[in-house]
């Protein structure tokens, strides 16, 4: 049975504080990652925390990209969830790993909606 979507859960380690703590940089990189993967961006919202950290989401026609950063730890948690055949979540994830200058990435892919019965064409 086919999955409805692919969800990459990534952890970025060893990222520079100044990159993880810059709202505009994080926002720009997340939007560009969606576009690099071939997604259609619908909306986005990002928030800067005090004293540090950024969270945000990019809503795409194919699902979403989300991030939360801990600049003081050099760490970011990233989700890239895509549906359909057009967008590869790994393209966005690898693009972000480069942008965030991560020294180590731990990532895994989860297939979503594998138990949903998808109607098959009549024989």
Please give the positions annotated as active site: 63, 68, 83
Helices 23-36, 89-99: axis angle to 10 degrees equals 150
Q: State residue 101 phi and psi, 5-degree precision.
A: 55, 40
Q: Tell me: cis bond preceding 79? Omega within 30 of 0 counts.
A: no
Sign of the four-CA dihedral 29, 32, 37, 41 = positive
Task: Label residue 94 left, alpha or beta by phi (over 0 means left) and psi (-120 to 50 means alpha).
Answer: alpha
């Amino acid at each position: 049975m086919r999955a409805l979507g692919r969800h990459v859960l990534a952890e970025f380690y060893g990222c520079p504080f100044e990159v993880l703590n810059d709202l505009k940089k994080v926002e720009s990189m997340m939007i560009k990652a969606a576009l690099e993967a071939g997604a259609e961006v619908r909306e986005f919202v990002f928030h800067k925390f005090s004293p540090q950290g950024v969270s945000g989401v990019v809503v795409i026609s194919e699902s979403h990209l989300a991030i939360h950063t801990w600049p003081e730890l050099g760490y970011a948690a990233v989700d890239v969830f895509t549906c359909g055949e057009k967008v590869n979540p790994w393209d966005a994830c690898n693009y972000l790993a480069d942008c965030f200058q991560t020294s180590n990435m731990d990532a895994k892919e989860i297939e979503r909606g594998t138990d949903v019965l998808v109607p098959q064409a009549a024989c």
